[in-house]
Amino acid sequence: MKEKSWVGILFSYTKGSKIKLSLSILLAIISVFGGLLPYLGVYHIIIMFFAGTQTGSKILYWAGICLGGYLIKILFYGFSTVLSHRSAYKILENIRLAIADKLMKVPLGTVLNESIGKMKNVIVDRVETIELPLAHLIPEGLSSLLLAVSVLVYLIVVDWRMAIAGIISIPLAAIPYGIVMRTYNKKYDDYMKASNYVNGVIVEYIEGIEVIKAFNHASISYEKFQKAINDFKDYTLDWFQSTWKLMNLGSAILPSTLLGTLPLGMYLYINGLLTPADLTISIILSLGIVETLTKFTVFVNDLKSIEYALRDADQFLNLKELPSVRQQVKLKNYNIKLENVSFSYLQDENNKENVLTNIDLEIPEGSFTALVGPSGGGKSTIARLMARFWDVGKGAIKIGDTDIRDIPLTQLTDTVSFVTQDNFLFNSSLLENIRLGNSKASDEEVKEAAKAACCHEFIEELDGGYNTLAGEAGNKLSGGEKQRIAIARAILKNAPIVMLDEATAFTDPENEDKIQKSIAALTKGKTLLVIAHRLSTIRNADNIVVLNNGRIEDTGSHEKLLKDCKLYRDMWQAHIGSKAWAANSDQNIEGEVVSNV
């Protein structure tokens, strides 16, 4: 497929800023023409002096033109800059929103496979690098280029020979610049890779700091961190050292326009081929060309950084979306059916290992189904497929006889609540964190949900109560309390289907009791699927599904499975054993038996 040009990518995100952007360009052009007026004024004043026709009023008139032109240049340039900054920020906003929107539409696996460092680097830092160069490129870059061309045309009109002499330094300067530019793309590419790598290492270092400290790996991790930063510094310095001589040579040659215009101008003047007025204005104009062109060379680097930022952003913007329909569907009921479902996380046709194979399962509306089985058997994968974090590889998942691929993603999200073990809290108040379940809920409704999820008491005990920021509260909340907040969110959402990845970590009896109460409040009258890690919590399930190696080994009630399914029986024995062990430990410690098997 033909690669999209970066200018094309840029313009596809100008929605809402097209008028401002066009106006900014128009104002920049007017500013350029304003900038030409002083040259015209000076030209006429010189001619008048040489011809001896100067009068006070004529001089004042042309001086007024010079001043007016200069004011136009400054004012219109200012307006153009304001508009170009606004347009640039709007473009940034559009790109960031488009990436965020895209991340919601691609399979979760695609997002999880990207490093957080890279995503943060692209969405925050790389996109930000577009703003300043873009905002300045429009008025400054455009006007520099236009002014140089206009002055050249003007100079050709005055004397074409002087025009050639005036730009002779450009091809000469192009030689050293050209040598640098030959390797520029490759160097810039390597520079960006090194920059992305450093970003990734920094984010990894900060994210993993808890593990680094816990395992006393501070020095090893710090060395990796330090090495990445040093390598990046060395690379940047090497690149600078390999180019600065040629770049400086180019920068020295480019403005040396007098080397051409002065001897030629003198020669033409002495031979009567150029008037003194034309000689003077030609020299002024030729200095004007190189000055503006020198300004433009600064933008070459800026253009490159815009190009790379857009290409990076475009990688995310081109991620393949989960196909989705828009039209809401009327679901007959909330029965869930998995029909011959197979799935692999690997998309490579030649390297596909099924995580789920030929799964047939029915979960009637209002029933309580539990998924149990050895670790890695595919329990969480089934739940993720039902929430459509990924699409099934083969077969279909249906809700109320409708394939979930034919239900709009937003409707599916409203229909299914998925409470995972990873209870992410946003750094807003706890009130707002719970309100995520239903943005329209009143404060009272949020508190009711919190009460039902057994969170109300501990939230009230926090200094800021419900207004405590989750970031501040985060350190004070236990894992079980965080899970109850997530359950409160789901209670507020009130979706007819609830999937719950039961927490393994928070097994102290008091917490377990509260979590069970909150789950009971969440799941009343709902179609419930629990990924169970502790069999005691699901022995009353209507149907228990034993998953092993991605296949259904058996299904049925607790009693039936104890009788018919060896794997389940073994798991139950192991579970009772561990409970007895825990009870004995408690007995040893506290002198009483705690048994809630």
Ligand X SMILES: Nc1ncnc2c1ncn2[C@@H]1O[C@H](COP(=O)(O)OP(=O)(O)OP(=O)(O)O)[C@@H](O)[C@H]1O
Our finding on whether 89 is near ligand X (CB under 6 A) is no
Our finding on whether 430 is near ligand X (CB under 6 A) is no
With CB under 6 A as the contact rule, which of the stretches 376-384, 395-403, 430-438, 558-566 interacts with ligand X?
376-384
Our finding on whether 381 is near ligand X (CB under 6 A) is yes
Write the DSSP assignment of 383-434 as a string of letters: HHHHTTSS--SEEEEEETTEEGGGS-HHHHHHHEEEE-S-----SSBHHHHH
Between 260 and 373, CB nearer to ligand X: 373
Contact partners, residue 53, CB within 8 Å, separation at least 6: none
Our finding on whether 32 is near ligand X (CB under 6 A) is no
Our finding on whether 16 is near ligand X (CB under 6 A) is no
With CB under 6 A as the contact rule, which of the stretches 200-208, 231-239, 368-376, 560-568 interacts with ligand X?
368-376
CB of 379 to ligand X, least distance (A): 4
Between 77 and 506, CB nearer to ligand X: 506
Terminal-to-terminal C-alpha distance of the chain: 61
CB of 381 to ligand X, least distance (A): 3
Q: Give the H/E segment covering residue 457.
A: helix 456-461
Contact 427, 469 (CB under 8 A): yes
Residue selected from 55, 241, 350, 375 as contacting ligand X according to rule CB under 6 A = 375
Between 350 and 375, CB nearer to ligand X: 375
CB of 532 to ligand X, least distance (A): 9
What's CA 320's distance to the chain center, in Å?
16
Contact 164, 112 (CB under 8 A): no
Between 380 and 494, CB nearer to ligand X: 380
Number of residues forming the site for ligand X (CB under 6 A): 12
Our finding on whether 34 is near ligand X (CB under 6 A) is no
Helix (H), strand (E) counts: the chain: 23, 10
Our finding on whether 505 is near ligand X (CB under 6 A) is no
Here's the x/- map for ligand X, 102-141, by CB under 6 A: it reads as -------x--x-----------------------------
In this structure, the chain runs to a length of 597
Between 264 and 371, CB nearer to ligand X: 371
Amino acid in position 381 = T
Amino acid in position 195 = S
**How far is the C-alpha of 467 from the C-alpha of 469, rounded, in Å?**
6
CB of 355 to ligand X, least distance (A): 4
With CB under 6 A as the contact rule, which of the stretches 43-51, 89-97, 252-260, 370-378 interacts with ligand X?
370-378
Between 355 and 452, CB nearer to ligand X: 355
Amino acid in position 348 = D
CB of 343 to ligand X, least distance (A): 9
CB of 555 to ligand X, least distance (A): 16
Write the DSSP assignment of 50-78 as a string of letters: HHT---HHHHHHHHHHHHHHHHHHHHHHH
CB of 149 to ligand X, least distance (A): 56
With CB under 6 A as the contact rule, which of the stretches 46-54, 173-181, 375-383, 438-446 interacts with ligand X?
375-383
Contact 556, 569 (CB under 8 A): no
CB of 583 to ligand X, least distance (A): 24
Residue selected from 380, 413, 548, 557 as contacting ligand X according to rule CB under 6 A = 380
- Among residues 293, 290, 285, 287, the alpha carbon closest in space to that of 36 is found at 285
Q: How many CA atoms lie within 13 A of 309 on its CB side?
A: 25
Our finding on whether 376 is near ligand X (CB under 6 A) is yes
Backbone angles phi, psi at 367, to 5 degrees: -95, 170
Our finding on whether 527 is near ligand X (CB under 6 A) is no
Our finding on whether 378 is near ligand X (CB under 6 A) is yes
Contact 48, 41 (CB under 8 A): no
Between 422 and 510, CB nearer to ligand X: 422
Our finding on whether 388 is near ligand X (CB under 6 A) is no
CB of 537 to ligand X, least distance (A): 14
CB of 294 to ligand X, least distance (A): 53
Q: Where are the beta strands (DSSP E) in 344-421?
A: 356-363, 368-372, 394-399, 402-403, 416-419
Between 260 and 377, CB nearer to ligand X: 377
**How far is the C-alpha of 360 from the C-alpha of 364, rounded, in Å?**
13
With CB under 6 A as the contact rule, which of the stretches 171-179, 321-329, 369-377, 398-406 interacts with ligand X?
369-377
**How far is the C-alpha of 26 from the C-alpha of 34, rounded, in Å?**
12
**How far is the C-alpha of 361 from the C-alpha of 339, rounded, in Å?**
7
Contact 216, 210 (CB under 8 A): no
Our finding on whether 345 is near ligand X (CB under 6 A) is yes
With CB under 6 A as the contact rule, which of the stretches 182-190, 359-367, 374-382, 510-518 interacts with ligand X?
374-382
- Strand partners of residue 543: 369
Contact partners, residue 23, CB within 8 Å, separation at least 6: 83
- Among residues 364, 344, 341, the alpha carbon closest in space to that of 354 is found at 344
List residues near ligand X by CB under 6 A: 109, 112, 345, 355, 373, 375-381
